[in-house]
């Protein structure tokens, strides 16, 4: 075999032994987001850096992104009061705890690949102040199984940080 043939063979062997991701083009940020994410932790961060967890010690939630640009998100405290009959409702205290301990929203989203941000446009939310508005979410970290986001300006005036794991 001449040198040229050996070089080609060596290159092919090297490429064959490389991980697929090293040869294939990396997925876009939007492609990496698509799917269902389960809430792991969430914290509000005050201007002085103090962190609080408005969703309790064991928060529940999902964040779903589809390929056509739609999203839905829910955040729920795990210790919400249990009421026996939704039609009859709960006590004023139970109802207040449920309303303040859960939020759901849906709408459309777009991704800025350069800034690693998501702009969500709220079509509907259990917090009616979101309806018809939009918000920016910063992707601070993203892997195949974990996403960390930050909301730089929450409705309460703090910054929110959250960790999500991909649903399996």
125 contacts: CB under 8 Å, gap ≥ 6:
103, 104, 105, 106, 131
User: Residues of the chain with pLDDT > 70: what percent?
Assistant: 85
Which of 111, 138, 106 lies closest to 122 in space, CA to CA? 106
Between 4 and 102, the higher pLDDT residue: 102
What is the C-alpha separation between 163 and 148, in angstroms, rounded? Answer: 5
The model's pTM is 0.81
Give the residue extent of every domain in the chain. 26-166
Assigned fold of 26-166: Lipocalin (2.40.128)
Q: 125 with 131: CB under 8 angstroms?
A: yes
Q: What is the pLDDT of residue 163?
A: 97
With cut-offs at 50, 70 and 90, classify the pLDDT of residue 17: low
Q: What is the pLDDT of residue 141?
A: 96
Strands 51-52 and 60-65, how do they pair? Answer: unpaired
pLDDT for residue 139 is more than 90: yes
Q: 72 with 64: CB under 8 angstroms?
A: yes
DSSP 82: P
Give the residue-averaged pLDDT of 110-117: 96
């Amino acid at each position: 075999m001449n040198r040229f043939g050996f070089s080609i063979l060596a290159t092919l062997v090297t490429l064959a032994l490389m991980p697929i991701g090293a040869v294939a083009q990396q997925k876009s940020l939007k492609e990496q987001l698509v799917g269902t994410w389960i809430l792991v932790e969430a914290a509000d961060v005050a201007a002085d850096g103090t962190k609080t967890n408005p969703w309790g010690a064991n928060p529940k939630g999902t964040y779903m992104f589809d390929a056509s640009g739609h999203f839905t998100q829910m955040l729920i405290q795990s210790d919400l009061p249990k009421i026996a009959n939704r039609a009859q409702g709960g006590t004023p205290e139970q109802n207040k705890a449920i309303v303040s301990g859960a939020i759901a929203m849906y709408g459309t989203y777009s991704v800025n690949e350069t800034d690693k941000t998501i702009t969500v446009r709220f079509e509907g939310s259990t917090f009616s102040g979101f309806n018809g508005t939009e918000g920016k979410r910063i992707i601070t970290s993203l892997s195949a199984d974990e996403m960390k986001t930050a909301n730089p300006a929450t409705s309460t005036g703090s910054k929110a940080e959250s960790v999500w794991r991909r649903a399996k």
